[in-house]
Structure 1
Amino acid sequence: MSNELIQALHEIEKERGIPKVALIEAIKAALNTAYKKNFSTTQSVSVEFNDLSGEVRVFSQKKVVDKVQDDRLEIAMAEAKELYPDCKVEDMVYVEATPANFGRIAAQTAKQVVIQKLREAERSLIYEEFLEREGEIVTGTIQRIESRTVYITLGRTEGIMLPPDQISGERYEIGQRIKAYIYEVKNTSKGPNIFVSRTNSYFLRRLFELEVPEIYDGVVEIKSIAREAGSRSKISVHSLDERVDSVGACVGPRGLRVQNIVSELDGEKIDIIKYDKDP
């Protein structure tokens, strides 16, 4: 390992926001594990990583004795005195024991740690991004269909549309562009799971907000929605401005606004009624 690794850690901290200290601590822990795995040792060892030069050194803990019986666990008093002048018999000291080929193993280990940390950071960013977008409509491309579950590409990740979230009678094909409503974002060890729906009543609400400026601006309110996804829906609307017809605003000129929503929902019938607080 070299200064190139240290420079890479600086760049990762700067560009990805992963603290260099956290990366170094993860590398140190992984190096200890890698040493024990590759050299099958039960010795107490400490793998030191120099965060200025990138140099890796292995130190083995040994007991100071007058006569060595096991050189893996013990060190002679005379030899120990050269390293630790004040040591005494029975003291535990650390002696460098860096294997000749450990540099290659260390470099591979550090690379794996950095890659893993980058993946974790990427997953965290995706989770935070879509957690903020929970309750929104997204547009993506169907990537695959497995066991009736539809997976939709959403940039760096994918949305999951379970069978209950699919409109009955709709056909889904790989490569098809599709809109859906994000209703739940879960963080898992394998990354975020983003659940989307086309049957959720809030999907219909958001479609009207996108299609009808008066709803988006808050002039017209959707008071309630009753939906049988794929069949029929009924919404009640109320205008906060007496000059604005709430039903007319939702229907749009020549019925264009509501027809756009009906087309998006594959022909689902939509009844729009004026809200009555005393039905």
Structure 2
Amino acid sequence: MNKEFFEALALLEKEKGVPMNYLLEKIKAAIVIAVKRDYGQNANIIVDIDPETAKFKVAIVKTVVENVENPETEMTLDEAKTYSKRAVMGDNVEIKLETKQFGRIAAQTAKQVIRQGIKEAEREHISMKFRAKEHELVTAEVTRTDIRHGNVIVKIDNSEILLPKSEQVPTEKLEDGDIIKVYVVDASDPTREPKISRTHPGLVKRLFELEVPEVYDGTVEIKSIAREPGSRTKIAVMSHDENVDAVGACIGHRGSRVEVVVSELNDEKIDVVKYSDDPAEFIKAALSPSEIIRVDIVDEENRACRVVVPDDQLSLAIGNKGQNARLAAKLTGWKIDIKPLSAFGE
């Protein structure tokens, strides 16, 4: 290994944040695998890499015995003397290998495994770094866009992460240089890069925590969220302080707080409704802005209800392409059947 090799590792540490020592351990393990393919799976391989001196040593260690039963790990005294004149019975003797001694196939394997080892080391390091940010909001910069497939690459703390098209808001077009907020959905698997999203309901929750102090400190609790990214979101909130209006706190003076969240979500509409332990009251609030006459619980066990609305409110209650009713059902966890008042002859 030459000086350039270690300079490349140092550059990778600087640019990607992957510690050189971490990479070297991965490379050592990769070299062991490659050497064992030529010298046997039971061979005792030692690899020593010193970045300060740029020295690299690979050796096979064999025990000196009278009768060799396992040539992968044992050798006779006569053989040992060719490597160490002071060798005696029972000694562990190192057989130093030069890179060319690995054999062409082993050398090729080493290169491939080392390359893969560096990729795995980088991926594992990113995963460890993001584990503390799981289910949190992070700021990201768009660095590359794939026009053909719609995926984008974003940079977060010097790490480049894929933001798939499926996790992007359909109505927004991301461009290189854009600064956005993303939600870290999962960073638990060290063999895969963290999953980030712009469509996850958790993104909305964290945005409200940023903009609404009462949500951040727990005075106002977000009980549930129903979202159709890029179009509309409904959130149900409740207050743990009788002097604090949960809905008002989230909306802010003249809509100042909710508007910040709407802007971050590319003008996605947001309905903030009051949560209630009474299913009928909660369902009624969830169907806002429609006027509701009554909510009849049809099957409490299966969480099914019938909602009666004025005839002129039917389309509003159902919403465009059924969106309002769909989001209300998702928000409350109830199956909602909306009927006009005229259907009952009233």
TM tier relative to shorter chain: 0.5 to 0.7
Equivalent runs, 1:147-166 vs 2, <5 Å: 147-166=149-168
1:174 matched residue in structure 2: 176
Matching residue of 1:184 = 186
Aligned to 2:312: none
Structure 2: which amino acid aligns with 1:178?
A: I
Aligned pairs (5 A) from 1:127-276: 127-146=127-146, 147-185=149-187, 187=189, 192-276=192-276
How many angstroms does 1:50 deviate by?
8.1
TM-score, with structure 1 as normaliser: 0.64
Q: 1:75 to 1:181 in 2, by over 3 A?
A: closer
Q: Secondary structure at the match of 1:193?
A: coil
Give the distance between the partners of 2:129 and 2:61, measured in 1 at CA: 46
Distance 2:94 2:225 in 1: 74
- Aligned partner letter, 2:185: Y
Amino acid at match of 2:169: I
- The runs of 5 or more residues in structure 1 that have no matched partner are 2-11, 65-72, 88-92, 103-109
Q: 1 CA distance for matches of 2:267 and 2:56? A: 67
2:32 aligned to which of 24, 29, 32? 29
Structure 2: which 5+ residue stretches go unaligned?
Answer: 2-12, 67-74, 102-109, 282-346
In 1, are the aligned partners of 2:223 and 2:237 still within 8 Å (CA)? yes
Q: What RMSD over aligned residues (CA atoms) do the two structures have, in Å?
A: 4.9
| 8 A contact 1:184–1:196 mirrored in 2 | yes
Higher relative contact order (CA 8 A, sep 6+): 1
Residue 160 of structure 1 and its aligned partner are, at CA, apart by: 2.1
Instruction: Please state how far the C-alpha of 1:242 moved relative to its aligned partner.
Output: 0.6
Q: Percentage identity across aligned positions?
A: 35
| AA of the residue aligned to 1:176 | D
Listed one character per residue, the Cα deviations across residues 89-112 of structure 1 (whole Å, up to 9, x for unaligned) are xxxx9797877x98xxxxxxx9x9
Whether the aligned pair in 1 keeps the contact of 2:123 and 2:193 (CA below 8 Å) is: no
Is contact 2:143–2:153 with CA below 8 Å preserved after alignment? Answer: yes
What does residue range 70-89 of structure 1 map to in structure 2 within 5 Å? Answer: none
The offset of 1:129, in angstroms, is: 1.8
The whole-number CA distance in structure 1 between the counterparts of 2:269 and 2:277 is 24
Superimposed CA distance per residue, residues 180-200 of structure 1 (whole angstroms, 9 cap, x where no aligned partner): 1111226465xx412211111
C-alpha distance 254-58 of structure 1, shift in aligned 2 (>3 A): closer
Tell me if the contact between 2:87 and 2:93 (Cα under 8 Å) persists in the aligned partners: no
TM-score by length of 2: 0.53
Amino acid at match of 2:159: T
1:156 Cα offset (Å): 2.8
